[in-house]
Structure formats: C-alpha cells, structure tokens
C-alpha cells in the first residue's frame, strides 16, 4: 500500500521506458503508452503470488513506483516531479499465457490478485533526485535487473505531465514507470526481490527489498472466458530471448516439450511496409539484432551477388540436393525432378534457397531455370553451390547469390532430392517461410516470429549510427560517442524529439 491503511485510486503502468528493455523488445516508442492495473492486484512485501493452474509464463518486472502527493492536472514536464510525494519498489507481474486475451489492455494478464506488490518502505521524493534512482531485482538471490532512472526514455516529470493532460492524478495514485532489461519467467518456489534506492543521495535512502514468493495455483480456468494460450513468440518474449529459454529448458525450469504453434509462422505476413523497412537496413545491422537474441548461425556463408549492389528480401522456398550416387540419380535426377519442381513452383516474392552442401564444383542453377524463376516473379535465388551459364544469368534482372560460376551440369556432384523442407544452406538452417535478406555483405535468415522486432531495432540502430556519423563529420571525437554514452544519448534523443538530425 502507498501508506499504511490507504489504497490508491488508480494504478497506471508504462509499457516501455528503459532503453535496455526497448532494445530487448526491438522497438523504441516515440511517446509513452500506458495501461491500468486494478487496486485489487496490490500486495505487500513478504507475500505470495500464485501462478494460475495450467499456465507456464509468469514473469516479474522490477520497477520504480511513483506515489502522487499534490494532485496534478495539466502540469508541465518541468513541474511534474513536484507532484510526487514518494517513490517505492514495485513488481509488475504479468502472465504471458493471457496476453492475447485482452489485445493490449493487460487486464487479465497483469490484473490478477497479488500481481502488483509494492513497498516495503517509501522514500520521500524531496530526499532524492528524479534521475538519481536505481532499481534492482534478484531471483533466488541472483541479481537479474540493474538500471538507473537517468537512462529513461520518458523521465518522471514527462510521464506526469502527459497523464495529467487526460486525467487528474490524485493523491495516493501510483505510477509504475517501466522495467529495464532482465525481466524473465519465474516458477513456483522462486523468490523475487526488488529494491529501489538512491545510492548517491545523502544517507543513500532505500525502500528495502520487496519480497514475493511464487506458489502454484490449483483453481483451473472455466469455459466462460479466455483460456491460457502460448506460442513460441510469447515463450521467447517471456523468458527474454531464445538463449534464456534454452537455458531454462536445460535447467529444467521450462518445458522442453513445448513447441511453437505451427500456425504462428504461417500467420506471419511479409507486408509491403515490412519489406520497405527491411530494404532500408543493412544485413550487418540485422545480424547484430539477431545475435542479441541468441541467433549466431543465421548467416549464409560464402555467397555473393551476381550484380553489385543487389538486394533481396523475400520468404524462403527451399530445395535440397544430396550427394551424387548413380542409382539415386537414376531414380531422382531425370524427368520433372525436385530441382525443376522448385523453379517451376516458386511463388512471386519468394526467394529460392538451395542446399548444395557448399559444393561449388558444379552448377546448381543455369540460365533456363533462372529465367523461369524470374518470369514467375521470384525475389531472388540463393545457392551455396555454383551457377552455370553465369554470364547469361548475370544478364537477367533476378538477383542470384552463389559461390560463383561453374560449367558443369547436374549429375556431377548432386542429386535433386526434395523441396519445401528444412535445409542447411551455407551453414545456416533455413525453413520454408523464413525471411531471407541479402545485400553486399551476404545473406541472412530471419525466423518469421522475430522479423518485426528485429527490423524495428535495426531501423533505430541505423538511425542512431547515421546521427553519430554526422557528429563525427562535424568534428566530434568518437570517444563517448561511438557507442554513445549517457550524455551523447541524451543529445541524440533531444535532436530526434526536435525533429532534427543534428
């Protein structure tokens, strides 16, 4: 509770506010956005939270909570902090299993009883600076979140000013100001602790640790409302990344039998808007964003474009060759074989990706098949083998990425075996429907469920790098600028907020 015996009139939570969390999510909002939590979700320090029966993805979010003192209505960002009476620690628990139930309102996913522990102590706002607070979270004694309020995308005063444009913030109201990177899933038996302090303020005031123990619920969900449902996207987001999920499975904290919903990938649409966004970022930048999420082997090694400056963006259609064997070639090499089938059925906008096991000693595509793919509207061809009729193919418009030319025809090294299966091309696993992006640096594979967040992060990264390049061109030293320290980051944000580039 905000003070002994009182209950806030409303609890308002911010979606994204820490750059570390925004980077993890792959999107940086231009303005703050919010959701409400019911007061019945409040809980004191030392309490428990139930993970409902039949669910698996209960996640913690350590946060700094602001408690409003003097009511605020139509205040300015400069005056916003004056309306804060105190700060305390909060844990904005959420159940990813129910995220789809409310289309972003978070009522069911974050409004459960006990889902908003606060406390245990209040720090007077007058005793601290709004940019001098620190929030830390521990799970079973291990530090998992550690960030400070001087990094916020939207400072406290701005949040209060923005909210006060729409409603009166009343005495006792609570604002949860966002969580930094490190939020993840907890399971029954885990103990989560959150502390907010001001280490550089006189006396280093602290809230003490807000302690919550996770227990297993027994009551099941009825048929008269939304049921828990998760897919691989929610699972990865809840744990924080593929790497954290894999570690959790290895440690027995996550169910290894839980697999992605097959409909999730098929439901993904590579829209014209997404294609345009992808077309504006480099493969190298996309590679960095994927590495942050544990995807280190998604680069198709050793292939280069037949036209300098070519780019490809499209969804994968796959073709697999196996090593040559006379009897297998006799049964699979002739007639309307898998190779011809692949080129004759590639859809408009698809990229035909060929597994040739890195064998460049023979051709895997020639002029007739490349022309057929172009006529069908394919976005490109990628093979980790060779290309026959190289000069003729280079004269076509269709981009072709390969290991280079080779005059030999089919039957020297390969047997065309199957289409539309998971393959290995240039050391990267490629599944039908994966998003393939190629440029002068090579070709990368993006799983469909990661495309939107990876592209959003890459777009922002390139915008930052372009801004940094302008500062360097104007004579700035790279020390502290590349990568940007807090001072340069603040100048960058101010420039973007003003609509300028400098």
Binding site as annotated, residues? 366-369, 388-389
Identify the bridge partners of residue 138 per DSSP, sorted by sequence position. Answer: 143, 193
Which string of DSSP letters, residue by residue, matches 206-271?
Answer: B---EEEEEEE--PPP-TTSPPP---HHHHHHHHSSHHHHHHHHHTTSS-TT----HHHHHH----
Which string of DSSP letters, residue by residue, matches 167-188?
Answer: SPBPTT-EEE----TT--EE-T
Question: Taking Cα atoms as reference points, which of 238, 271, 300 lies closest to residue 59?
Answer: 238
SS (H, E, C) 351-382: EEEEECCCCCCCEEECHHHHHHHHHCCCCEEE
Measure the CA–CA gap between 454 and 233, rounded to whole angstroms. Answer: 13
At 324 the three-state DSSP class reads coil
- What are the binding residues for Mg(2+)? 389
Please give the structure tokens belonging to residue 10: 């409303």
- Contact between 306 and 404 (Cβ < 8 Å): no
Q: How far is CA 239 from the centre of its chain?
A: 11
Interior angle at CA 342, CA 341 and CA 345, nearest 5: 80
- What are the binding residues for substrate? 366-369, 388
């Amino acid at each position: 509770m905000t003070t002994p015996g009182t209950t806030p009139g409303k609890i308002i939570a911010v979606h994204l506010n820490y750059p570390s969390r925004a980077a993890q999510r792959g999107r940086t909002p231009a303005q703050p956005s919010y959701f409400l939590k019911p007061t019945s979700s409040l809980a004191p320090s030392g309490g428990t939270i139930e993970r409902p029966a039949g669910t698996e993805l209960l996640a913690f979010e350590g946060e700094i909570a602001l408690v409003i003192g003097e009511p605020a209505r139509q205040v300015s960002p400069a005056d916003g902090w004056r309306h804060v009476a105190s700060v305390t620690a909060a844990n904005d628990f959420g159940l990813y299993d129910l995220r789809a139930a409310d289309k972003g309102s978070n009522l069911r996913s974050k409004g459960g009883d006990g889902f908003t522990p606060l406390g245990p102590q209040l720090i007077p706002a007058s005793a601290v600076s709004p940019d001098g607070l620190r929030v830390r979270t521990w799970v079973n004694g291990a530090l998992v979140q550690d960030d400070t309020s001087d990094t916020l995308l939207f400072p406290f005063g701005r949040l209060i000013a923005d909210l006060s444009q729409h409603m009166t913030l009343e005495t006792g109201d609570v604002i949860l100001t966002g969580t930094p990177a490190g939020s993840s899933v907890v399971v029954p038996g885990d103990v989560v602790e959150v502390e907010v302090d001001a280490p550089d303020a006189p006396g280093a005031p602290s809230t003490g640790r807000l302690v919550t123990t996770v227990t297993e619920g027994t009551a099941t969900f009825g048929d008269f409302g939304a049921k828990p449902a998760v897919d691989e996207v929610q699972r990865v987001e809840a744990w924080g990344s593929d790497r954290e999920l894999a570690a959790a499975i290895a440690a027995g904290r996550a169910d290894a039998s839980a697999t992605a919903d097959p409909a999730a990938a098929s439901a993904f649409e590579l829209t014209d808007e997404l294609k345009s966004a992808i077309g504006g970022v480099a493969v190298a930048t996309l590679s960095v964003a994927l590495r942050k999420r544990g995807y280190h082997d998604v680069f198709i090694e050793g292939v280069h474009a037949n036209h300098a400056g070519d780019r490809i963006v499209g969804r994968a259609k796959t073709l697999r060759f196996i090593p040559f064997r006379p009897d297998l070639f006799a049964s699979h090499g002739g007639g309307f074989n898998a190779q011809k089938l692949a080129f004759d059925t590639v859809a408009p906008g698809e990229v035909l990706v060929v597994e040739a096991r890195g064998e460049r000693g023979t051709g895997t595509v020639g002029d007739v098949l490349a022309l057929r793919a172009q006529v069908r509207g394919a976005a490109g061809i990628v093979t980790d083998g060779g290309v026959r009729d190289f000069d003729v193919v280079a004269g076509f418009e269709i981009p072709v990425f390969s290991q280079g030319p080779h005059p030999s025809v089919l039957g020297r090294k390969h047997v065309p075996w199957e289409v539309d299966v998971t393959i290995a091309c240039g050391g990267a696993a490629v599944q039908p429907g994966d998003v393939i992006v190629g440029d002068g640096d090579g070709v990368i594979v993006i799983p469909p469920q990661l495309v939107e967040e990876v592209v959003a992060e890459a777009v922002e990264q390139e915008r930052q790098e372009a801004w940094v390049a302008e500062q360097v061109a104007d004579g700035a030293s790279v020390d502290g600028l590349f990568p940007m320290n807090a001072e340069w980051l603040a100048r960058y944000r101010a420039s973007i907020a003003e609509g300028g580039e400098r």
